[in-house]
Structure 1
Amino acid sequence: MKLIAVSLAAMLWLAGMVTTVVPRTPQNEWKADSIYTIKIPAGYRDWKLISVAHEAGKLNDLRAILGNDIAVNAYRAGKLPLPDGAIIARLAWAYTPSEENNKAFGNPQSFVAGQPTNVQFSIKDSKKYTLSGGWAYAQFNQGQSINVAVNATCFACHQAVKDRDFVFTKYSH
C-alpha cells in the first residue's frame, strides 16, 4: 500500500514537471496531454475494434475500445503482457434512448450513442512508464486534456487487473 502511495505521489510530481503546451491549430495532428507528455494519436478513430461496453451507474455511457495494430495483433494472438508500442483507445458517448427504434418496436428497448463524452488512451512502454506498470494513461474531453491529477489516478484502479497487464478490456472475438 505504501508503494502505491509513493508511486502515485511520484507520478503526480512527475506529471507537473513534464507539462507541455501545444498551440491548438488545425495543422496539429497530435494534441499534447500533460501527464507523461501523452498525445492524441492522429487517425485513432480508424483503428480496429477490440471490444464494446456499456458503463452503467453515474457514467452511463457506451464505449468503443479500439487498438493500434500492435495492440490488436497481440489481443488476437492472446499475448499478455501487451508489447511496448501498444495503444488502446476508449471512446465514450452518452447512453441515449433511440426514440425512432423504440417507437418502431413499441417498447423502450433501443439505445444509441449520444453526445461524445471523452476519449481515453493507455500507452504501453515498459521502460518509460516503470512507475505505472509500463502504462501511461490520459483522458481528453472535447479534444482537451483533463486535469493531470485525475489522469494520475488511473493506475490505482488498473491494479485490480494486474494479472492481465493492467488492462480491463478483453478481446471480443
Structure 2
Amino acid sequence: MKSLLLSLLFAATGLARAAAPAASPIYGVTLPEGYRQWQFIAPAHETAPLDELRVVVGNPVAMAAIEKNQLPFPDGTVLVKLAWKHVQSAESPPAYVPGKATTVQVMVKDSRKYAATGGWGFGRFIDGKPADEAQHQTCWGCHQALVKNHDFVFTRLAP
C-alpha cells in the first residue's frame, strides 16, 4: 500500500516514477520520504542558462538549526531543493510560475560518513532517478568554493 501511494505521489508531481528510491552515485543519497511536506526555507530564481524557479525545504532538524542560526548544521540535517523551468503565467502575464520539473537536489549532513566533503552528502535527481556521476562530482567543489563560511550551504531563511 505504501509503495502504491508513493508511486501515485511521484506520478502526480512529475518528479519521480519509481517506488523504490535509487541512491546517488558517490554519496549514496536518496530522495527522502515525505520531503514535499517539509517546511519552506526560501525561494530562488536562477537566471539563464538554467531559467529556473527553486524552492528549498528542510527536515525538522534543519529547521531547528536555521531558526537558531546554528552553524555548523547538526548531523541529521536534510535540505531539499526542488527546481522547475519558469514559464510565463497564462492568468497574469507579468508573473512567472513553475513549468516542467528539472531536478530535486538533496544535501544530507553526516559528519562521519561525509567527512571528506565537509560533512555533507549530495544527491541530484531527475524524474526521481539519480543524475550521473559526472554531475555529482561538481557538487562539493561548488559548495566548497562559494559557501565555505556558511557550513557549505547556500540557502538562508527567507525573511
TM-score above 0.5: yes
Count residues in correspondence: 142
8 Å contact kept, 2:79–2:106: yes
Structure 1 residue 171 corresponds to structure 2 residue 140: no
Q: SS at 1:58's partner residue?
A: coil
Deviation at 1:45, TM superposition (A): 0.6
1:117 aligned partner: 102
Runs of 4+ in 1 over 4 A off after TM superposition: none
8 Å contact kept, 2:25–2:136: no
Deviation at 1:34, TM superposition (A): 2.4
Aligned match for 1:137, one of 122, 131, 134: 122
The structure whose RCO (Cα within 8 Å, separation 6+) is larger is 2
Q: Could you tell me how far apart the structure 2 residues matched to 1:119 and 1:153 are? A: 15
Q: Could you tell me how far apart the structure 1 residues matched to 2:122 and 2:52 are? A: 19
Q: SS at 1:40's partner residue?
A: coil
Aligned match for 1:90, one of 49, 66, 81: 81
> Percentage identity across aligned positions?
41
Structure 1: which 5+ residue stretches go unaligned?
A: 1-23, 103-108
Aligned match for 2:44, one of 26, 49, 53: 53
8 Å contact kept, 1:137–1:152: no
Q: Could you tell me how far apart the structure 1 residues matched to 2:86 and 2:18 are? A: 31
Q: Could you tell me how far apart the structure 1 residues matched to 2:123 and 2:18 are? A: 20
Q: SS at 2:31's partner residue?
A: coil
Structure 2: which 5+ residue stretches go unaligned?
A: 1-16
TM-score, normalising length: structure 1: 0.78
Q: Could you tell me how far apart the structure 1 residues matched to 2:102 and 2:123 are? A: 14
Q: Could you tell me how far apart the structure 2 residues matched to 1:54 and 1:45 are? A: 19
TM-score, normalising length: structure 2: 0.85
1:98-136 alpha-carbon deviations (Å, 9 max, x no partner): 12212xxxxxx1110111111000111111111111111
| Corresponding letter in the other structure for 2:45 | H
Largest Rg, 1 or 2: 1
Q: Could you tell me how far apart the structure 2 residues matched to 1:84 and 1:39 are? A: 16
Q: Could you tell me how far apart the structure 2 residues matched to 1:38 and 1:91 are? A: 15
Q: SS at 1:90's partner residue?
A: strand
